[in-house]
Chain A
């Protein structure tokens, strides 16, 4: 049996389930208590679990991550909320130099079960620093895992799986999808945490992406089908590690792969996907792997975001270019 709910609600339900399942799980962040977070993802959780389980913290991202590390050392499983993507950088040092490396530095005697939730990406018309896609910085860092759900069902399950992971997880929530509804099956996730998934089958071109991009890829596939082009869509779900098997199999079937992302393309998740698909499906490819990305500029003022961000038209343009080889 499934229930229809928004991604924000699915995350809220996932966090509620995690808090209920393990008394060592703590939520911490700015405005996550009575307000329920600026996106209301933690709404009602402090009232239900108390202010010793759901902590409104001082306004300091390095402080949030650094104290979460100490709490993890003392046996807790902290789940930190970073309010917006562009505000993660004051905590960057604690994430990359400390959180990511402490298990190795302890030669395995210490696990770091810390989750860092990051609402990310554009399409919401917000001011500077509120629409960015910083995932590549963290995918580049050994010791971290990165997840990004594209649907309410995955959001519900993946946040719980992130919390039970014994490794630090950067959990990127596509904020433009927070209010989109979908079916959530509370009985089973139906898929492994770090597995990628074919979400639409096709034969001529493979589109691959993560987070909010997945719904756009599905729209593009729908339009292309009307023009007679059969497109397969792969949702990465996990950005580190990336499960390449379904993607390579798809590339071997279609011979044409396009990777799309909101982040700037230079040294990005898309770069890595393109390189790996080229290495592993080289003899199957009919065209170079193409990337559709944000431009290599700062995220623009909101009135220009539709120019900056990949659109259905830019994706279909890339499909045409791939098919022209």
Chain B
């Protein structure tokens, strides 16, 4: 019995889906039944006509029988719903303008909202996937004040410790479960076909214990695993064809910080795809080298004890660290969650976007509500007629709601489709330049994790239908009121429900102001960044590095090779000049060279506030287009063994030699007691990003630089060529020269300076692009809303205007009335928008450059822009009001 019940239920569900066959079968069966009956009746002597009539009577009416069989066969409500939907569909098809505007509005709102929410959810909310309890993982940062510039905020950097120091830290700091070292400083696997140079990271065994990562193939690194390497899932798939036999394979890696070493390693395993530490770009991991002469240093990864906050632990860790590293009392120690550090600057950006789409969603909902109201009013007549011929109010309401739900569902579905398109755009946009050696972050972190989660899909689907239903219900309840009553009320007050609508439109205008301010701020930021003087030329500059085949190239050999290579390239017809340096602008590596001092001292160490040291070739500065302000640049007088000279930039000249002319002064670099002579002052360079103020720098010619054991080129020399043609065009010629000099050497990290600079401002560009599109949509929606409401109000006052015109008012007067009415709403909306934005704008402050969230000009521009757009929405209905024909209106009266 129970089973047969379930079976019937299933059969009824199935019947919903394929009603066509069942219907024709039923018709056939009833037809056969009637034929048999008629045969019988004719047999009893009835005429054909009588028999047919009597047969139908005995059966009980063909349509009634079918209807009752249908009720038993399927579910009545579902069958009704299907009919309602079909009816609603026809209704929408009859008014395409209404259908299109509501569905497009909902699609835009739902699509943009779910895309941004999905991104924010993936980046900000979802816990990191690479370790259990990731919220307990922290980095140790130190804030070091600059005594020379007490007014500037302290410089924030990561604390770097040696293996012994971090062991002491773990022992002393009771708030930590443990701490290990991380250093993303390995490059290589040069033997791997097509891999170029991969990025690797050293993880101390303690770090690995804290992270407890899972492996996909093979085993993780364990104690004493010298010369063992573990690959990332990505690298394994890209370069090894996901071959499980990779375990045991021998590869080569290059160590590029500290002493440059090339060593042979063996693959022992492949990490699980979720393991993306310290970065999504990390391709392989090794244990830190054990080198007694120069102990391994790395940044700290620590795990807090459960229940301990980073703020609380900072006290404990700070004390230990001060002791271990003899930090000054004014150095502040801060613990930052890995997640917060990873998300960092993206957080305010995403929060701003969430706020912006929230506003857009609100505008869209209000608009849809307004559209439904207008439609309901337009259909009052239709509904009244149908009510008069017997349709119940409930029936009419139900039909309206079906229509609203259909619109909501369609808007939701299209919105989801839009969202997935937007997300794939964001993902491609966010890919960034993908270079690990640069200070350029990907526009968004946790890129691979960005996706529409099931929760968002479900919420969106329900949200769309809910908005449609709500807007439809409100309007339908109004419209299904007895029309006579509404008509009478309309006489009594010329503008029904104008107050509610006025608020609706004002809120939309306010929202539009918020979005436009956001767009102007981010747009200005992006333009400011574009316009900023980097201090070097970015056009017609090609940058590249050379990967040398093996350890055959020692430091000195690389330097001399680079010099020959540069001079031979400089002789190429399409190349003006070629320079090289240990790092280019936008390259991460910092170096102080031991500091630049005005007095000799063999005991001191360079400090945090030491100037940035640049080791460059003779032609580097002119090749990069860095201007010489005073004195002279490097030339042939500055070779090895000749009088040692140094160039300083303007920032350093101002800071270190306050008031004095630096030219001709003797300075000392590091602990070296032999003096260097300042021979020139060059322009400032924004070394670490366009948004960062230029730092004090000094320049030493590589020919005169003997670093005393440390490598000249910590990450290999960076070359730059000033080209006469498009930078990419010289690549073949360049490759030709390289091959002729060293057949096994390869070019890599090829990019024009323009590309690098453009990539460095991809994040502000993404933000500006998104906010500009959002604000465009928002303003358009608000204008449409204003237009709709004013049109409606004007139409409702037709009679009044007619009377006014008949009594002697000019069309101008009528125009004035409507414009005043609209303008009042717009102005109050603008005021509310400005006030609201002033309150909420702070969230975006840190993502701005050269403009503030309190810039009156920005607000004035936004208000003016929205006001102008709004005036279109006012003008059109106002014009229509003046065209009212007084005579016709009075005749209607």
User: Do A and B share a complex?
Assistant: no
Give chain A's interface residues, CB within 8 Å of chain B.
none
Give chain B's interface residues, CB within 8 Å of chain A.
none
